[in-house]
């Protein structure tokens, strides 16, 4: 069984895609280790969520995590109880462990999904109330639930002592999530530079334009038969996560001058590499 990965900033229909992929012939689709995104079941892959920040800080740490939780030996043992030729894990933490996985599994491939900056930040920034999909950094003054605090423990943030770390306390939630978008996508694009055509970059917006073509591109990249894609998408429709609190910040034009300047700089950095 061959392990493959899908990675993104989050807020890119990853739960939906994991469910759809699991419906394709020969594919086992997981979301953060849970087959078909079923978080009520026992995960079939060892959980990595809380290792995410450690892997971000150190590639050596990422390699240790992969050796423990995603090695060929671990995947071979898991494969004994599963039917299928492709195991695809869709998860944010694949950004930080992706290179180590591709090193450890020469046949592994990765799909990087990149969402445009403004809609990501607007979707990820919570200013009040409980965020049931806490992908981004909340407003620093926001009261967090126990679940939000737990998820925050694995979210990447600047390394201690770095220039970004020194500025972090003064940054608004918008600026923190611009940083999150920039750093996440920089890692994904760097993987493409290192591993070449083993890494496929897909714009998230193409999923809305043509879901069948989007899923077909993923299937081709991973060597999964493209038959049954329409049915797979239909079966996963109910797994499209909706942000119940809606967008709590306005468009870029309503942001502060400092936030807008930070936005322009980040968009230019990543846009020039796409």
Place of tokens 């600026």: 175
pLDDT for residue 78 is more than 90: yes
Write down the pTM of the prediction: 0.95
pLDDT for residue 64 is more than 80: yes
Distance CA 256, CA 260 (A): 6
Contact 119, 205 (CB under 8 A): no
What is the β-pairing status of strands 27-31 and 34-35? antiparallel
Region 157-175: what's the mean pLDDT?
97
Tokens of 123: 């979707």
Place of tokens 């109880």: 81
Domain locations in the chain as residue ranges:
2-271
pLDDT for residue 245 is more than 70: no
Distance CA 191, CA 48 (A): 19
Confidence band of 133 (pLDDT split at 50, 70, 90): confident
Tokens of 24: 């394709």
Return the CATH architecture of domain 2-271: 3-Layer(aba) Sandwich (3.40)
DSSP 108-169: --EEEEE--HHHHHHHH---SS--SS--SPPPTT----HHHHHHHTTS--PPTTSHHHHHHT
Confidence band of 273 (pLDDT split at 50, 70, 90): confident
Run of H or E residues at 22 = helix 14-22
DSSP conformational letter for 133: S
User: Cβ–Cβ contacts within 10 Å for residue 54, how many?
Assistant: 16
Q: What is the pLDDT of residue 8?
A: 97
Contact 177, 124 (CB under 8 A): yes
Average pLDDT over the chain, rounded to whole?
95
pLDDT for residue 194 is more than 80: yes
Q: What is the pLDDT of residue 272?
A: 81
pLDDT for residue 168 is more than 80: yes
Distance CA 270, CA 80 (A): 41
Chain segment 218-228, per-residue pLDDT in tens = 999 999 999 99
Region 242-264: what's the mean pLDDT?
90
Q: What is the pLDDT of residue 238?
A: 80
Contact 199, 191 (CB under 8 A): yes
Contact 21, 85 (CB under 8 A): no
pLDDT for residue 241 is more than 70: no
Confidence band of 14 (pLDDT split at 50, 70, 90): very high
Distance CA 237, CA 239 (A): 5
pLDDT for residue 260 is more than 90: yes
């Amino acid at each position: 069984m061959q392990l493959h990965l899908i990675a993104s900033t989050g807020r890119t229909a990853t739960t939906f895609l994991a469910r759809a992929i699991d419906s394709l012939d020969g594919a086992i689709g997981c979301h953060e280790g849970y087959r078909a995104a079923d978080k009520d079941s026992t995960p079939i892959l060892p959980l990595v969520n809380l290792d995410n920040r450690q892997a971000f800080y150190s590639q050596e740490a990422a390699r240790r995590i992969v050796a423990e939780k995603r090695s060929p030996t671990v995947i071979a043992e898991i494969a004994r109880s599963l039917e299928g030729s492709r195991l695809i894990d869709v998860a944010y933490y694949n950004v930080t462990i992706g290179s180590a996985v591709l090193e450890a599994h020469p046949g592994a491939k990765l799909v990087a999904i990149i969402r445009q900056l403004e809609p990501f930040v607007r979707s990820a920034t919570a200013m009040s109330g409980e965020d049931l999909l806490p992908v981004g950094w909340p407003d620093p003054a926001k009261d967090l639930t126990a679940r939000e605090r737990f998820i925050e423990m694995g979210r990447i943030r600047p390394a201690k002592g770095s220039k970004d770390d020194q500025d972090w306390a003064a940054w608004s939630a918008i600026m923190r999530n611009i940083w999150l978008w920039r750093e996440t996508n920089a890692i994904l694009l760097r993987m493409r530079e290192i591993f070449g055509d083993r890494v496929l970059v897909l714009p998230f917006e193409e999923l809305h334009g043509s879901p069948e073509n989007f899923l077909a591109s993923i299937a081709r990249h991973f060597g999964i038969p493209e038959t049954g894609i329409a049915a797979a998408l239909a079966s996963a429709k109910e797994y499209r996560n909706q942000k119940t609190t809606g967008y709590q910040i306005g468009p870029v034009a309503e942001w502060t001058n400092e936030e807008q300047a930070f936005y322009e700089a980040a968009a230019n950095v990543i846009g020039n590499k796409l």
